Amino acid sequence: MAKDPWLVPVTTLRRVPGSSRHEARVGRVGALEVAESRVAAGSDVSADVVLSALDGGIEVEGSVSAVWEGECRRCLSSVRGVITCEVRELYRPRRRHEKPDDDEETYPLESEMLDLGPLVRDALLLELPVAPLCRDDCAGLCPTCGANRNDAPCRCLSSG
């Protein structure tokens, strides 16, 4: 088994509040899908982040990027692109009495390892285009005959 590319050992970092450390990681996060676009399960995604030890936990700031693919919402042709998202999230230890649905948006911090996986997945899911277009002025499919109007205007156009 390959080791999890998203686990970062943080014991040393947490010992010195104010210290920080750069991490560049590449790996897979499994399939991500939003409506008409997705990051394939076998596709590598990358994270380039700085971890900073704070009093209450560890702040992770940087960027996450991945190749996505999908279908144009107008003409259904396949579309590919790269998404890059800026991230800035706080990981902090969960206290025993805290409910898991604590309204503060933080990620759990175990004592020795910080798991970048959930942050990477969440960031990409938010950034995936919900209704992608192959190009801004895609002419789409004809609702009458189904022809792709990007290829050639169909005869139906004249009657409308």
The answer to the question of residue 41 lying near Zn ion (CB under 5 A) is no
Instruction: Supply the minimum distance, in Å, between the C-beta of residue 126 and Zn ion.
Output: 23
Q: Choose one: 7-15, 42-50, 90-98, 149-157; the region binding Zn ion (CB under 5 A).
A: 149-157
Q: In terms of Cα–Cα distance, which of 57, 138, 60, 70 is closest to 102?
A: 57
User: Interface with Zn ion includes 37 (CB under 5 A)?
Assistant: no
Q: Is 66 in the site for Zn ion (CB under 5 A)?
A: no
CA dist., res. 32 & res. 36, Å (int): 11
In this chain, which of 75, 113, 124, 125 binds Zn ion, going by CB under 5 A?
75
Considering CB under 5 A, how many residues would be counted as binding Zn ion?
11
**Rounded Cα distance, 1 and 64, in Å:** 24
Q: How many other CB atoms sit within 10 Å of the CB of residue 128? A: 21
Cα Rg of the chain, angstroms: 21
Q: Is there binding between residue 72 and Zn ion (CB under 5 A)?
A: yes
Instruction: Tell me which of 7, 90, 125, 142 binds Zn ion, using CB under 5 A.
Output: 142
Establish if 50 lies at the interface with Zn ion (CB under 5 A): no
Interatomic CA distance for residues 91 and 56, integer angstroms: 8
